[in-house]
Structure 1
Amino acid sequence: MEVRLRDREATRERLLTAARALFAEHGYEQVTVRMIAAAADANIALVGRYFGSKAGLFGEVLAGERSVARVLDGDVAGLPRRLAEYAGERMHADPESPILRALERSAGDPEVQALMTERLRTAVVQPLAARLGGDDALARARMATAVFLGIGSLRRLLGPSDPSSDDVDRLTAVFEACLR
């Protein structure tokens, strides 16, 4: 029985790996469940069993990506600086990252938009608001999230850049303003 569990996990990982690569190369709309199963050397029915649908599989690919959650640990007073450092990392993010390519190629798809909205809400806005607390925590979390989205848009349009220590200081001031 344990061997089956390991095989199940190995198959699930192969499906995730194949999906990540195919979504990055072709975009969400162009990738079929059949393509994913073939690339993972798995039965097509297993996509439905493990993920429910292609959209569910894409959601799992997104869930496996880094999020701002690791930045939330620590004292609240240091949060603006940690957010600024994380934003600086995002300024330099590899534009060839498979997940960034997948999102850019698929941004117009309604299923992908719904998944991204949910991911943004559950992985960034809600955890940040919970960490901040207070009556207007959600509004402050949304403002800080808008800064991240702007940095992502800038990187996509102008390419990655190495942030200077002055840039991180400026971003710290921006996050302090957003979070107070």
Structure 2
Amino acid sequence: MDAQVTEARPRDRAATRQRLLTAARRLFSEHGYEQVTVRMIASAADANIALVGRYFGSKAGLFGEVLAGEPSVAAVLGGDADGLPRRLAEHAAKRMHTDPESAILRSLERLAGDPEIQELVRERMQYAVLDPIAGQLDGGDAVARARLATAVLVGIGAMRRTLGPEVPTDADVDRLTAIFTACLR
């Protein structure tokens, strides 16, 4: 009896984990979190479905890892504290006109209330937005002021989805600067 010879891929945990992340990022971007199954991810990554659980714990855990690699407002936070309201205003004005560059972040805006990933969304908001803004602020109530500024940023995304994009003017940026200045003061 001849044994069938198949060429197996060498076991490489890091490479398999990366393939799963890459496949998940693509599928979540294309179809949204709700529509993607663990089986779809494993198939696209040419990996065993059990490896999703082994490396990430669950689909939600995998989504959390994908989120960790997405851009945040960190670039906006760089620079002097006095210029922070203007940088936030310019970022917010850009968001009035366009969706986030990242398809994952666009998907995240729609998923904020999904019970399966609500804690991931909360953690992402905390470490990627709230903590960095609060870290830029002096004085009391830094966290409350950071929450208020974050509410403005999140609200702009909700307005854009509800009312459609709006091309911001210089006057919009000036008004948003005044709002963020008041929030952060």
What is the deviation of 1:73? 1.4
More helix by share: 1
What is the deviation of 1:22? 2.2
Query: Mapping of 1:36-115 within 5 angstroms?
Result: 36-94=41-99, 97-103=102-108, 106-115=111-120
Question: Aligned partners of 2:114, 2:29: CA distance in 1, in Å?
Answer: 14
CA distance 1:89–1:9, change in 2 (3 Å): farther
Query: Mapping of 1:14-33 within 5 angstroms?
Result: 14-33=19-38
Aligned residues: 176
- Report SS of the residue matched to 2:116: helix
- Report SS of the residue matched to 2:139: coil
What is the deviation of 1:151? 0.3
Q: More displaced, 140-149 or 69-78?
A: 69-78
What is the deviation of 1:177? 0.6
Question: Aligned partners of 1:170, 1:158: CA distance in 2, in Å?
Answer: 19
Question: What is residue 3 of structure 2 aligned with on the other side?
Answer: none
> Which whole-Å deviations, capped at 9, do the CAs of 1:23-62 have from their partners, x for residues lacking one?
2343323322111010112222332233222111111222
Q: Which segments of 5 or more consecutive residues in structure 1 lack a partner in the other structure?
A: none
Fraction of identical pairs, as percent? 73
Greater radius of gyration (CA)? 2
> Which whole-Å deviations, capped at 9, do the CAs of 1:122-169 have from their partners, x for residues lacking one?
111112112213221011101100100110101111222322221111
Q: TM-score, normalised by structure 1?
A: 0.85
Q: More displaced, 86-95 or 167-176?
A: 86-95
What is the deviation of 1:16? 2.0
Q: TM-score, normalised by structure 2?
A: 0.83
Question: What is residue 11 of structure 1 aligned with on the other side?
Answer: 16
Higher relative contact order (CA 8 A, sep 6+): 1
Q: Which segments of 5 or more consecutive residues in structure 2 lack a partner in the other structure?
A: 1-9
For the 8 Å contact 1:24–1:102, the answer to whether it is kept is: yes
- Report SS of the residue matched to 1:167: helix
